[in-house]
Chain A
Amino acid sequence: MMNKLELNEDKVLEVRFVGDDDVLNHILDREGGAKFKKERPQLLVNTKKIIKKPEYDLKEDGIEVLKDKNYVEVLGRDVQESLKNGSATVGGNKVYSFQNRKHPEKMAKLASELAKTPRKNVSYSLKNDPEIMTDIPQCSKGHSPSDEVQLKNNDKSEFISTTRVLRKRLIAPRNHSDSESEYSASNSEDDEEVAQEFEEDTNKAILSPKTQAQNRVVSAPVYKATPSKKMKRDKTSDLVEEYFEAHSSSKVLTSDRTLQKLKKAKLDQQTLRNLLSKVSPSFSAELKQLNQQYEQLFHKWMLQLHLGFNIVLYGLGSKRDLLERFRATMLQDSIHIVINGFFPGISVKSILNSITEEVLDHMGTFRNILDQLDWIINKFKEDSSLELFLLIHNLDSQMLRGDKSQQIIAQLSSLRNIYLIASIDHLNAPLMWDHVKQSLYNWLWYETTTYSPYTEETSYENSLLVKQSGSLPLSSLTHVSRSLTPNARGIFRLLIKYQLDNQDNPSYLGLSFQDFYQQCREAFLVNSDLTLRAQLTEFRDHKLIRTKKGTDGVEYLFIPIDNGTLSEFLEKEEEES
């Protein structure tokens, strides 16, 4: 006999005897239910595949958890529908994948490869297609035609590495299309290849034990049939290690050649422009077509601007001409301000000033920027007939990318009757905006890839190879040195020579004052350290020398001008004397 608690209809607990059969029925019922349950998990497993995080379902949030997979699928499908948007063609893992350690001479190799066989690669890939599909890492057989071609062109040693590079290139696309497990597998292989190349080509023991260990770690799971969680972890940790490995060693393997040894070295802005004007632009027909596509959007932009959205343009190529055309066609009859973000002297202050002074004709001054902003906002809120278009080229430029500037521009743009259309170019430009700013801006994004050169945008930039004011320090040097006494000139020359002698010494700090004094005395240029100090003060006033305190507390003197200019100056001096 068994006791059983049963919940009666009228919700009163009651204890009573129950017969065997009832118990049996009861239990069997349960069993039937259990049988059901056994079937069910299978079904539920299927659903889990779609809902990515099954463990999470049990919790409160339930299926709130996003169906990432579906989401990605949706986007994937969209790509086929929209031919226009370039941003959707590649998966994230390609863009954000980690790089392998690069061989120092790889660039030259790639260059020669690109130069020599520009079109043939395509045919290889077609031939190798089935092999790629079947996913055999060592598809050396398939590569034999390419090897032959390479043999004709290169000597043996180059051949090995080039084919390796080639093979890697052919493997690479597969990486991304396949599942994660395969991805990490071929990745590790690349690693090995790179490691081998290091050993073979440079004959240095660069290969650290760490790399080897890490290779082992990665290659182990390759043979596992199913991708497991552990593998995933391995993969990520592997990537992380790779990153830190590449960034930990302070030594960088690059060649030591400098531009100075090449004669062409630096050009100034003017000659650069002249030279570039001789280049005939390629693909002009296609570019024109692209631009025409974008021009058709002008009306839509105007509509959306009026409806309270702001527009931001992104994509490779200068968008300045496009915006200029927009201005010319749509904005002739309305007040607008063009703001060159790339102009090095631009600031939010100057933008606000041009609004208050030129648009609103206000003559007064403001205590600070925030006051000015408040004033402008009030003015625009009061007078709804007032309309203002802001065109900002390079909203992400050095001068405007600061948090405060963005905040202020965002607040301006959130006004109903201020319409903002801006362009961004920098890779990380969207990081400028947090949620608050983004909602103030209320952006609509438009991709406008134009491929046009950033002529205007880079002309102000203190570029790497453009001699911005290269002639200036030299002329000022000679100018100052002419006004000096012969002794002072001698002192200065001494310092220059010393600095040039030590230019290859990476730990060179400068010439210590004591040594300098000694040398000057020996050359009969000064008779006491007081006179030397007096001379040095003059140099310092002209910003010709600077002093630095060394770790031992001694003062070191050096000239903050690059060595090329200094040697040029010395040559000139010697010619004159």
Chain B
Amino acid sequence: MATSSVSKGCFVFKPNFKKRKISVPIEEYFNEGKNESEDSKLRFETYQVIWQQMKSETEKMQEELNKNLFDSLIKFLQKSHSGFQKNSRDWGCQIKLREIPTAALILGVNVTDHEFTFRSLTEAIQNNVTPYVVKLQARDCPDIKHFLQKLFSQLMDCHVDVESKEEEKDIQKKTHCSMDSLSSWYMNVTQKTDQGKPRKKRTSSQWQSPPVVLILKDMESFTTKVLQDFIIISSQHLHEFPLILIFGIATSPVIIHRLLPHAVSSLLCIEIFQSLSCKEHLTTVIDKLLLTTQFPFNLSEKVLQILTSIFLYYDFSIQNFIKGLQLSLLEHFYSQPLSVLCCNLPEAKRRINFLSDNQCENIRRLPSFRRYVEKQATEKQVALLTNERFLKEETQSLLESLHVYHTNYFLVLRCLHQFTSSLPKYPLGRQIRELYCTCLEKNIWDSEEYASALQLLRMLAKDELMTILQKCFSVLNSSSEKQLGSTAKRIEELLAQLQSLDEVKEEEDASGSQSKGLQKTDLYHLQKSLLEMKELRRTGKKQTKFEVLREKVVNFIDSLVREYLLPPETQPLYEAVYFTAAHTLHEHLNAAPRLALHTALNNPYYYLKNEVLKSEEGCIPNVAPDICIAYKLHLECSRLINLVDWSEAFATVVTAAEKTDANSVTSEERNDIIHARFIRAVSELELLGFVKPTKRKTDHVARLTWGGC
């Protein structure tokens, strides 16, 4: 069946039912298309397992991060609603009763992540406060009528009574939605539950009339009229319809006052809640997913940098970050046959035994493995390259040492971060991810920043040094594996020495100050002796005990770094667990369609590898595709382009290119063809958005771009 028609634009294709049943499982797509792929099924399964783990881990983490916020929100909801219950005659309460309790939830600009927050918030409220939670979005409520309708229908859905559902549906259709009908519905429902389930219900939920919580997801995009009307109306009905509002705000709380005039906002009793900033969120995500040996999968420096840059430059969206992570995971397992070893250690060891000959060959081809082989003795080299069994055993031990490497790496990285994160000006970055990036990229101790950081460390005061060391100690102790046990012990020793230094020093201080304490001086003498002391200093510098010890600590951390923070490229078999193809990630996540167009039009040789098209930058050969020539010519014009001139220029270029076979067709026909080609090129440029027809002058088109593209 054709898919072009002058009468319709949608074509539905429905294969008959039997055929559809045998649909291809997804794994098929994973291995097809590539012939030499190995263990693809296993790889795909591993991918899915790891991805599921990562996903659940992030979800768990997000819940934890939101927990504080939700707790305080729920407390607020409970507190603000208790006023309805007391029914007190207190004057203050009466005043308060007229105000709608409102929580302004400031969530930040990463709007795409809010959905998840709201979903878990709804769950939390439904579990703890009230079954009646309604979420509304601005695009569903263009006016107050739709607003109320949506509110009504969602409230109906909240109410879980199955028998009465049908009945309510009818009500919804029949009644015109208004605040009155809403409050009468509410009365009905609350009374019904009271009668229906007498004692049990009352004990389980705190109140006989649970409040209705209305969440406006994107407060900024609501029309002000709708919001104002709704607030005014509902404040009138507050005594019979206990409403609590939650505003989702992406910008700042000022927006409430900008959207609502004083008369309206005075009907609200607003409390502001701030969600965790997305940067902290990112830090936790990286901490939990990447800086851990829990997941065998790792990112190379470039990949990590691209992902964080997309996050920081474009959207602040954790979801997108995770998406990038998912894509790199998928790409890794799809493109790297040895990724089958990218799983937890015992499993990987088991899998090595079942590796095929081809896979063994793949291992031998890994650059990192080749480097490793070259360092071995000759017999061992031969054995590694010829004996499969030996290779497998060696691979097992290599994987094990890779695992150890990672364990140590992350611990030392955290220690180093403890040291550098408090330095002035943060020469190695404030966040651990920056430090991680630098360490992944190269030998960190070769960088100037590292040198300056060490220099700064040499000037730390004692108490600072001690707190840092204590933190490092706890970091090292936190890991279950005891690879760095001796290091922890060494830090403990250093700590103890520092501690003992205190006592010694105090004694010295006391004696020193007493002996010279009471000499008199004037400004002149002071200056003079200062100069003398300076001379003395220059010649022979005497270090205090503390300074010696500080030097020791710094040297110690330096040696740790040099020993453990080697870049991953130095480790054999690192290719199996590191995803390095940063460009694919960038291509697929952060594409630049405009640049692609520009390249295609200006430099067709880039795509069509034909020698004829080779040209210097800025010029284009006259045999290039028509659209390139037309484009190049149009670049020479200013805002308006005369079509006649354009077509003549085009014809000049094209006829020059065709000179060789000019005699075959008559010139008349040739001209027509060239004109047709010109027409096609122009209409294609129009489709691409470079020109558009204009009425300002006959037979002219307007250029729509300014500059080179």
Interface string of B307-333 (1 = CB under 8 A from A): 001001101010110010011001000
Residues of chain A within 8 A (CB-CB) of B110 are: 435
Residues of chain A within 8 A (CB-CB) of B602 are: 90
CB of B529 within 8 A of CB of A20, answer yes
Smallest Cβ distance from B14 to chain A, in angstroms? Answer: 5
Interface window among A230-238, A248-256, A475-483: A248-256
Once A258-B698, A453-B684 are accepted as A-B contacts, the answer to whether A47 and B14 lie under 8 Å apart by CB is no
Beyond the given A99-B706, A106-B636, could you list 10 further A-B residue pairs with CB under 8 A, ordered by the A residue number?
Answer: A23-B526, A32-B537, A63-B426, A86-B606, A262-B644, A300-B29, A327-B13, A335-B12, A429-B593, A465-B683
CB of B600 within 8 A of CB of A298, answer no
Once A20-B516, A453-B680, A466-B683 are accepted as A-B contacts, the answer to whether A64 and B431 lie under 8 Å apart by CB is yes
Interface residues of A in 462-485 (CB under 8 A from B): 463-466
CB of A108 within 8 A of CB of B649, answer yes
A286 to B613, CA, bound (A): 11
Smallest Cβ distance from B629 to chain A, in angstroms? Answer: 7
A453 to B676, CA, bound (A): 13
Using CB atoms, name the residue of chain A closest to B314.
A435
Chosen A-B contacts, 5 in total, with CB atoms closer than 8 Å, are A40-B452, A107-B649, A253-B638, A339-B9, A354-B12
CB of B11 within 8 A of CB of A337, answer yes
CB of B10 within 8 A of CB of A339, answer yes
CB of A445 within 8 A of CB of B10, answer no
CB of A436 within 8 A of CB of B112, answer yes
Interface residues of A in 191-246 (CB under 8 A from B): 243, 246
Using CB atoms, name the residue of chain A closest to B544.
A29
Residues of chain B within 8 A (CB-CB) of A528 are: none
Interface window among A301-309, A507-515, A548-556: A301-309
Once A63-B431, A290-B607 are accepted as A-B contacts, the answer to whether A304 and B330 lie under 8 Å apart by CB is yes
A224 to B697, CA, bound (A): 45
Using CB atoms, name the residue of chain B closest to A125.
B616
Once A272-B679, A307-B330, A447-B587 are accepted as A-B contacts, the answer to whether A9 and B641 lie under 8 Å apart by CB is no
A99: contacting residue among B425, B513, B708, CB under 8 A = B708
Residues of chain A within 8 A (CB-CB) of B452 are: 40, 43-44, 46-47
Interface residues of A in 353-384 (CB under 8 A from B): 353-354, 358-359, 370
B: number of interface residues (CB 8 Å): 171
Interface string of B480-502 (1 = CB under 8 A from A): 00000000000000000000001
CB of B426 within 8 A of CB of A62, answer yes
Residues of chain A within 8 A (CB-CB) of B634 are: 107
A466 to B683, CA, bound (A): 9
Smallest Cβ distance from B253 to chain A, in angstroms? Answer: 19
A487 near B: Cβ within 8 Å? Answer: no
Once A111-B653, A439-B317 are accepted as A-B contacts, the answer to whether A298 and B33 lie under 8 Å apart by CB is yes
Q: Is the interface of B mostly helix, strand, loop or mixed?
A: helix
Residues of chain A within 8 A (CB-CB) of B276 are: none
Once A122-B615, A307-B330 are accepted as A-B contacts, the answer to whether A43 and B680 lie under 8 Å apart by CB is no
CB of A316 within 8 A of CB of B600, answer yes
Q: Chain A interface: which size bin?
A: 35 or more
A283 to B680, CA, bound (A): 18
B20: contacting residue among A172, A334, A345, CB under 8 A = A334
Using CB atoms, name the residue of chain B closest to A411.
B139
Smallest Cβ distance from B36 to chain A, in angstroms? Answer: 14
Smallest Cβ distance from B325 to chain A, in angstroms? Answer: 13
Interface string of A4-26 (1 = CB under 8 A from B): 00000100000001111111110
CB of A439 within 8 A of CB of B319, answer yes
CB of A451 within 8 A of CB of B607, answer yes
CB of A87 within 8 A of CB of B312, answer no
Interface window among B231-239, B570-578, B688-696: B688-696
CB of B13 within 8 A of CB of A299, answer no
Using CB atoms, name the residue of chain A closest to B587.
A85
Smallest Cβ distance from B155 to chain A, in angstroms? Answer: 17
Residues of chain A within 8 A (CB-CB) of B534 are: 28, 31
CB of A335 within 8 A of CB of B15, answer yes
Smallest Cβ distance from A138 to chain B, in angstroms? Answer: 19
Smallest Cβ distance from A367 to chain B, in angstroms? Answer: 11
CB of B649 within 8 A of CB of A110, answer yes
Highest count of chain B CB atoms <10 Å: which of A43, A350, A430, A466: A43
CB of B607 within 8 A of CB of A86, answer yes
B281 near A: Cβ within 8 Å? Answer: no
Residues of chain B within 8 A (CB-CB) of A406 are: none
Interface window among B87-95, B389-397, B517-525: B517-525
